[in-house]
Structure 1
Amino acid sequence: MNLFRPLRHFALLAVLCAGAVHAAGDGAPQGSQATATAAVPGRTAIASAHFLATEAGHEIIAAGGNAFDAAVAVAMALAVVEPSSSGIGGGAFFLLHRASDGKDVFVDAREVAPAAVSRDWYLDDAGNPDRDRSVNGPLAAGIPGQPAGLVWLAEHYGRLPLAKSLAPAIRLASEGFPVDEKYRQLIGMRVEALRRHPDAARQFLVAGEMPELGHVIVQPDLARTIERLAERGFDGFYKGTTARRLVTGVNEAGGSWTLDDLSNYRVKEREPIRLRYRDHEIVTSPPSSSGGVVIAQILNILSVWDLKKMTAVQRVHLVVEAMRRGYRDRGIYLGDPDFVEMPLAMLLSPDYAAGLRASIRLDQATPSSMLPGSDNAPRGTDTTHFSIIDADGNMVSATLSVNLPYGSAFVPPGTGVLLNNEMDDFALVADAPNAYGLIGREANAPAAGKRMLSSMTPTFVRGPDRTLVIGTPGGSRIITMVLLGVLEFIDGADAKGIVGTRRIHHQYLPDVISAEPDALATETVHALEAMGHTVDAGRREWGNMHVAIWNRASGELEAASDPRSESGRAIVR
């Protein structure tokens, strides 16, 4: 699809002008949209970034598990077969819906900073950011949260023992999986970093080089680490043999972890952000995700305009101006809710949006440097996502990450655990951009035990007849991709239409509109540039979205994986 070409899909963005959005971060009760019918799906839909992970989820469903057991299986299988994007050494957000009582909950298994953390770790002698330290090697890694998150899902929401749900991943790590083109593409970006660390090089390279297509990657150390997790739960990773090997390996390579850093890690259950748009309820991610707040702000800003009556240029202009302001506030205000007092009531208020809207001109771009917030003007598919709806109507939207491809490129000896480089997601220097060009301030400054701000935005949308489970990788572009996917769904698109839509993006800094090929007509690009926008259009595609849809009126289930990736697989069974 193409949202922004003239005379096509006017109605899609016209949903933005259907009245003010009402958003709440304090858990407004679910409305009547939550269940339009008593029917259950009767089958299970799973869409993930790798066919072996999707099959692992269905294997666990066939063994008597529910969506939450399947989520454990899919997540850990992805850790094995898609190591570039997520893993046992990273973190995750899980948005859950339990059908039996209608409970929606956000499970925050984001990484945290080690207790000894110091901004000085990431500065050169002149006090400038040393990007190599924040993205490569042990100093780049936060304390992993995904293993604890999987244990939490199994113990609090699943039907099956943890060991049963982890069995497919153990098998994949022990027996291996064949290298595909996506593996080669992403590892090609990190070969040099992986070569620095012998255990990482042995695990993912062949004689120090990129493996050939079809080469089988076997990970015996990772298999044994997953087995300890399966046998002992939380203590199997955060205490005992695995914990000692992680701490020893990190510290011998120049990092600074302690056994207490691991044993003190805790999963956080949080109330999702809820907002109503037209006749739909959107349930989305609260901080330490920035996604739900930014999406609510964008919709509030746009809600008063009748975009249907505007030209394609005016529509794109207004969407971009709303994105610009939402991302600006992301950098100023948002952080770990356990450490930072955030003005969420203000940020989610239609009245606050009206103030932001007042500075938007219909005929001219607002340079980001002109908005209060920063004097600096400084930029993936290095995360993963899956969506599940099971036969009983339980739902999981899960986004997982190690940050950049192959994380820190560091594996502590004897663990098979590829560690994340999420420390770069902190504001290590105020207003200095991270690897995605995102800026931040004290709200997202590193501190012992603090979660770094994320863009991951797992989301549910409930309309009168249909329910959507959606999310995507894509670094700083995650939020805008989910936003556009939500709008596609509200306008009636099916699963394939949502994942296939052409995308645009703006994130405040750098002050550039990014657009996929065919997202913007040539005449639209020229007109936007005449208004003062800088447009980077058509050079590459982005995203790897996976969605599931339940039509509660008809009982039909749909699932779709992004056509931009050949590895993804969506199966209804």
Structure 2
Amino acid sequence: MPSRHIRLTLAVITSCALIAPMAQAAPPGGPPTEPPKQAEAIGSGGAVASADPYATQAGIEVLSRGGTATDAAVAVAAALGVTEPYLGGIGGGGFFVHYDAKTGKVETIDGRETAPSAAHRDMFLDNGRPIPFDDAVTSGLSVGVPGTPMTWQAALDRWGSKKLGEVLRPAEQLARKGFVVDKTFRERTAQNEQRFRAFPATRDLFLPGGKLPEVGSVLRNRDLADTYRIMGTRGIDALYRGELGADVLKAVNQPPVDPTVKRTVRPGGMTTDDLSDYRIAEQSPTHLTYRGLDVYGMAPSSSGGTTVGEALNILERTDLSRLDKTAYLHRFLEASKIGFADRNRWVGDPKFNDVPTDELLSQQFADSRACLITDDAVLPTPVAAGDPRNPQGCQARTAGGVEPYEGPNTTHLTVADKWGDVVSYTLTIEQVGGSGIVVPGRGFLLNNELTDFNFTPVTPGQPDPNLPGPSKRPRSSMSPTIVLQDGRPLLAVGSPGGSTIITTVLQVLLGRLDRKLSLVDAIAEPRASQRNAGQTEAEAGFLAQPEAEKLKAIGHQFKPTGEIGSATGVERLPDGRWIAAAEPERAGGGSAAVVVPGR
């Protein structure tokens, strides 16, 4: 069916949920008070949605003091480095998408980690065979040159109104005073307990007294507070050319392992030049139109913008709002499958590969792939990639190879300010707990981002754009997205989740734009993730729907999994107010707030 130009309007939401205050003062000299959580907030003056109430509170504090969306986004990200240190922090990297209300432009920062100059194609092989994945993760070999500090400074230089030290102050104070440990933090610590015990600095920080932190206890990170203070006063050169960087290099190249622990931890080969030569990548966002809306995302080295975009283009010719839920979900899953087939073949670091970004996002190519989808059958997997430079008609083929692995964790935040600027920012250290290596005396974990490279070619006999190489960025799936309507922001979304980020963001966009769910309901929807595999990963809530059995009758096969993603978003209402939305339940629930609540 032909696509329709749509204008989204949102009636006043009639929910009677109360907007709880974000800031609650702790008793003088007493333990910190955990801020309340809420999945949705509506009001003016700016909005913040993140995975954590302390981080959201830090962003609201900066917005309330006149900060821009960028100022607040850096403050939120720094606070997440305190309360969600296993998912993001200054030892990692990420992708920053920004809408400027003055210019109407969407711009991006690629702060992805890079491989050291000593990296090479066979760096994760031993006698020609891939080393065990867990051994690769917990090593100096897996650590990429961090990009997060430079991302923060570059964003503040372009769109901020405050200095780095000022926006880091809430996180510095949070790290020094501590935060209340919740169930999710304890569970994530337990997942990593064995390997954390191998590194004294990691053990001492996250296993106080040698034990898992108790729910309700207060965890402080004075080393990280001092690190933020150093960066705030001396700038990011303290990491890229100074004392912080020297300690990073020592931890990477001589992993600080407890000699009494029987664990082999491979060293890395990062140099002072690798740190000082790091640069953010300058590039334009991906862009396509969908139902008359402008959708912007991250270009490669992330595969998020091209893969979400290709899937949207594939679905453009179908009026998804008129389909029953089974037919809608079928098309969503099949479009995801095809998008991943093309992503795995073509997307890598554009400095080292000829990535056909524009062609992957062309409607002509999407149409040549959309015709593979039928209503009563499932495409056999793995679907072979198409050629975006030479689109061919409906020829469904399968190919060999395996699904590339990408760690299922990261964190995402979305921010809007009173002037209408919007930020969608995803940052990561890769696995939960990254490499497991805390830089001694500095209070932050190092990433294991280089395990996002393919250790060997995914499809034998075909070029693989995501093999390791010197100074190369590993492919990512991070998909921070901003949608404009008539040149003004409509909504921004993003999620953690490794390669499931792409399907999560796609499902949230379709739920809001096509199925007319509210943003918070689109975020809360039960999820499934099809990534060109024989089985579709699906949450229990998805499999409990009656539509799941109908999808099985068509030919879909499902693999039960835990939670998929943990999305956040903001949406601008026609009257200029903002909705901030976060997960109601996943990962313990996210945190949404506005500066001035009001329905």
Secondary structure in structure 2 of the residue aligned to 1:152: helix
1:248 to 241, 247, 250: 250
Q: Is the 8 A contact 2:349 2:475 kept in 1?
A: yes
Q: Is the 8 A contact 1:20 1:350 kept in 2?
A: no
2:569 matched residue in structure 1:
547
Distance 1:139 1:319, change over 3 A: same
- Residues 478-487 or 441-450, more deviating: 441-450
CA positional deviation for 1:155 = 2.0
CA–CA distance in structure 2, aligned partners of residues 179 and 518 of structure 1: 27
Q: Is the 8 A contact 2:288 2:361 kept in 1?
A: no
1:264 matched residue in structure 2:
277
CA positional deviation for 1:476 = 1.2
2:436 to 409, 429, 438: 409
1:419 to 436, 446, 471: 446
1:114 matched residue in structure 2:
116
Distance 1:467 1:536, change over 3 A: same
Cα shift readout 1:143-186 (whole Å, capped 9, x = no counterpart): 11001111112222211111111111111222222211110121
Secondary structure in structure 1 of the residue aligned to 2:90: coil
1:375 matched residue in structure 2:
400
- Residues 495-504 or 147-156, more deviating: 495-504
1:321 to 306, 330, 334: 334
For 1:566, the aligned partner's letter is G
1:437 matched residue in structure 2:
none
1:339 matched residue in structure 2:
352
1:350 matched residue in structure 2:
363
1:562 matched residue in structure 2:
583
2:554 matched residue in structure 1:
531
2:485 to 437, 456, 463: 463
CA positional deviation for 1:331 = 0.8
In the alignment, structure 1 segments of 5+ residues that lack a partner are: 1-16, 22-31, 34-40, 434-439
CA positional deviation for 1:353 = 1.9
2:170 matched residue in structure 1:
168
1:519 matched residue in structure 2:
542
Distance 1:444 1:179, change over 3 A: same
CA–CA distance in structure 1, aligned partners of residues 399 and 467 of structure 2: 16
Cα shift readout 1:293-320 (whole Å, capped 9, x = no counterpart): 1112112222334556655444333222
Cα shift readout 1:461-486 (whole Å, capped 9, x = no counterpart): 12368710111111111111111211
Between the two proteins, what is the percent identity of the paired residues? Answer: 36
Q: Is the 8 A contact 1:399 1:457 kept in 2?
A: yes
Paired positions, count = 532
Structure 1 residues 385-400: aligned runs within 5 Å: 385-400=412-427
Cα shift readout 1:62-106 (whole Å, capped 9, x = no counterpart): 333211111111111101111111011011111001112222101
CA–CA distance in structure 1, aligned partners of residues 4 and 133 of structure 2: 42
For 1:472, the aligned partner's letter is S
Cα shift readout 1:125-145 (whole Å, capped 9, x = no counterpart): 351342123211211111110
CA RMSD of the aligned region, Å?
2.5
Structure 1 residues 112-191: aligned runs within 5 Å: 112-125=114-127, 127-191=129-193
- Residues 209-218 or 420-429, more deviating: 209-218
1:219 to 218, 221, 228: 221
Report the TM-score when normalising by structure 2. Answer: 0.84
Structure 1 residues 45-64: aligned runs within 5 Å: 45-64=47-66
Distance 1:299 1:215, change over 3 A: same
Cα shift readout 1:229-285 (whole Å, capped 9, x = no counterpart): 111222121111111111122211222111111111111232111111112211112
2:456 matched residue in structure 1:
429
CA positional deviation for 1:428 = 1.8
CA positional deviation for 1:572 = 0.8
CA–CA distance in structure 2, aligned partners of residues 394 and 245 of structure 1: 37
CA–CA distance in structure 1, aligned partners of residues 321 and 510 of structure 2: 14
1:71 matched residue in structure 2:
73
CA–CA distance in structure 2, aligned partners of residues 197 and 119 of structure 1: 28
CA–CA distance in structure 1, aligned partners of residues 520 and 284 of structure 2: 30
CA–CA distance in structure 2, aligned partners of residues 311 and 60 of structure 1: 44
Q: Is the 8 A contact 2:341 2:383 kept in 1?
A: no
CA positional deviation for 1:527 = 3.7
1:442 to 461, 464, 467: 464
1:85 to 87, 92, 108: 87
Matched, 1:498 2:482: no
CA positional deviation for 1:392 = 0.6
Q: Is the 8 A contact 1:249 1:413 kept in 2?
A: yes
Cα shift readout 1:5-58 (whole Å, capped 9, x = no counterpart): xxxxxxxxxxxx54399xxxxxxxxxx99xxxxxxx851101111111111112
CA–CA distance in structure 2, aligned partners of residues 387 and 92 of structure 1: 14
Q: Is the 8 A contact 1:427 1:441 kept in 2?
A: no
- Residues 183-192 or 380-389, more deviating: 380-389
Cα shift readout 1:493-534 (whole Å, capped 9, x = no counterpart): 33322221222210013x212222333566533343343321
CA–CA distance in structure 1, aligned partners of residues 497 and 105 of structure 2: 28
1:279 matched residue in structure 2:
292
CA–CA distance in structure 2, aligned partners of residues 287 and 466 of structure 1: 23
2:503 matched residue in structure 1:
480
1:365 to 365, 378, 384: 378
CA positional deviation for 1:543 = 1.8
Distance 1:69 1:374, change over 3 A: same
For 1:498, the aligned partner's letter is A
Distance 1:43 1:363, change over 3 A: same
CA–CA distance in structure 2, aligned partners of residues 308 and 166 of structure 1: 44
Q: Is the 8 A contact 1:191 1:209 kept in 2?
A: no
1:303 matched residue in structure 2:
316
Distance 1:386 1:227, change over 3 A: same
Q: Is the 8 A contact 1:182 1:567 kept in 2?
A: no
Distance 1:522 1:157, change over 3 A: closer
CA positional deviation for 1:370 = 5.3
Structure 1 residues 200-239: aligned runs within 5 Å: 200-239=202-241
2:302 matched residue in structure 1:
289
- Residues 499-508 or 126-135, more deviating: 126-135
In the alignment, structure 2 segments of 5+ residues that lack a partner are: 9-42, 256-266, 386-397
Report the TM-score when normalising by structure 1. Answer: 0.87
CA–CA distance in structure 1, aligned partners of residues 383 and 281 of structure 2: 38
CA–CA distance in structure 2, aligned partners of residues 71 and 299 of structure 1: 27
Q: Is the 8 A contact 1:85 1:381 kept in 2?
A: no
Matched, 1:572 2:594: yes
For 1:401, the aligned partner's letter is T
Distance 1:396 1:522, change over 3 A: closer
CA positional deviation for 1:356 = 1.9
CA–CA distance in structure 2, aligned partners of residues 545 and 359 of structure 1: 30
